[in-house]
Amino acid sequence: MPVLLAPDQAPSLPDLLSAANTVGLDCVVVESSVSVTPRIGGIGSLAAAGAQEISFLSNPKLAAQLGDCQAAAVILRPEDWRDFQAGHADTPKWRTVLCSQPYLMYALLAQWFDQQRIARMATGIHPSAIIADGAQIDEGVSIGPYAVIESGVRIATGTRIGAGCFIGPGCTIGRDGILHPRVTLYQDVRIGDRVILHSGVVLAADGFGFAPDPTREPGAWAKIAQLGGVVLGDDVELGANTTVDRGAIEDTVLGNGVKLDNQIMIGHNCRIGDHTAMAACVGVSGSTQIGRRCTIGGAAMFSGHLTLVDDVEVSGGTAITFDILKPGRYTGVFPSTEHKQWQHNAAALAQLAQLRKRLRAIERALDA
């Protein structure tokens, strides 16, 4: 991992634990033969952490890595510590931090280091940013170089707009959000609080709406102007190069807490329910509604005008072409095999309806 804090800025182990442990976990440093209190400049895995880093054991399968771990300190559960001691006579090199939930403690530490990093980012409005007259930029908003903010925009306090972002006319962005460099918002996007948009995100480009226009030429298309907007709830996060199109008439809407990974495409008029999460490369065709708390695997694909209820799980790579009205997990992936075997199976699959007929014929013959 990159060094996050230089030694002179790194906190001591006890200071770090008390600063990061905002939820009051049971977290105790075991007194040991390691006499110096280490300074902690970052987090590392058990296998890779160095003498300025803290590590943790959350997956018991990795316990074998404790013996050679070079970290300054390791967080682990009391029972895992007992097991380690049972198998090792020597005191480990690392300071021992006992905690009933090592993974949660890691998450809190990671958050703390991330906060230090964010705190070092430039604040204020860069002089090269172009902000239209009448845009309403609250106190405490940061705007990076070469960003362009159009008329009628409102941005609430604490939000950071990265270098080269374009915020189209009439957009509103809530408080404490982060738009990383080169995010593009067309006009009429409304964004809640604490929203994170990664680089390359494009919100409210025109939906894909065309009507056949044979008056010009056979096969020609007439564009249907896309007049709706895009609405994101609070606590939404969208990954790099993800796109959400504007609605044709009404808005395209992502509920509170929706998390989308990179390179996802949400078509016009879609509605995605609160806390639904999608892994990368998913495509959702226009006017499809997905419920709350759904989890969608990478590269899944949805036809348009579908309805999915709450609490649906879709496996990666699955094409959903019909409504899903019952919670549960749904899958449709061609199982991969060695190429030769696939060739045989695929050839048979191309005749499958015929095979079924032949089977039925045998059954009838035997019945007779």
* Interatomic CA distance for residues 24 and 108, integer angstroms: 11
DSSP H or E stretch at residue 17: helix 13-20
Q: Report if residue 355 touches a copy of itself, rule: CB under 8 A.
A: yes
User: Which residue, among 101, 48, 113, 41, has the nearest Cα to 75 in the 3D structure?
Assistant: 101
Instruction: Rule CB under 8 A: say whether 125 interacts with a copy of itself.
Output: no
Nearest by Cα to 236 from 167, 173, 282: 173
Cα–Cα distance for residue pair 346/324, rounded to 1 Å: 28
Do 148 and 168 touch, CB atoms closer than 8 A?
A: no
333 binds a copy of itself per the rule CB under 8 A: yes
Question: Is residue 325 a contact residue for a copy of itself (CB under 8 A)?
Answer: no
Binding flags for a copy of itself, 141-180, as an x/- string (CB under 8 A): ---xxx-x-------------xxx-x-xxx---------x
36/365 with CB nearer a copy of itself: 365
Please tell me the distance from the alpha carbon of residue 84 to that of residue 140, in angstroms, as a whole number. Answer: 49
- Total residues found in the chain within this entry: 368
Residues numbered 6-65 forming contacts with a copy of itself, rule: CB under 8 A = 42-45, 48
Minimum distance between the CB of residue 252 and a copy of itself, rounded to whole angstroms? 11
User: Among residues 279, 290, 306, 308, which is the contact residue for a copy of itself, using CB under 8 A?
Assistant: 279
> Between 83 and 193, whose beta carbon lies closer to a copy of itself?
193
Q: Among 219, 179, 215, 216, which Cα is nearest to 199's?
A: 179
Q: Spot the catalytic one: 268, 305, 339, 344.
A: 268
Q: How far is the CB of 56 from a copy of itself (least distance, A)?
A: 9
CB-wise, 83 or 307, nearer to a copy of itself? Answer: 307
Total residues binding a copy of itself (CB under 8 A): 135
| Rounded distance between C-alpha atoms, residue 136 and residue 190, angstroms | 14
**Nearest distance from C-beta of residue 86 to a copy of itself, angstroms:** 28
By CB under 8 A, what part of segment 206-225 binds a copy of itself? Answer: 206, 208, 210-211, 217-225
- 344 as an active site residue: the answer is no
Query: Applying CB under 8 A, does 228 fall inside the site for a copy of itself?
Result: yes
348 lines the binding site for a copy of itself (CB under 8 A):
yes
H helical segments located in 57-173:
78-87, 102-119
Applying CB under 8 A, the span of 31-39, 69-77, 87-95, 243-251 interacting with a copy of itself comes to 243-251
Q: What is the CA radius of gyration of the chain?
A: 27
Here's the x/- map for a copy of itself, 284-313, by CB under 8 A: it reads as -x------xx----xx-x-x---------x
Nearer Cβ to a copy of itself, position 193 or 313?
Answer: 313
- The C-alpha atoms of residue 143 and residue 181 are separated, in whole angstroms, by 10
Nearest Cα residue to 63 out of 93, 78, 84, 45? 84
Handedness of CA 186, 296, 324, 335 (dihedral sign): positive
Q: Which residues are catalytic?
A: 268
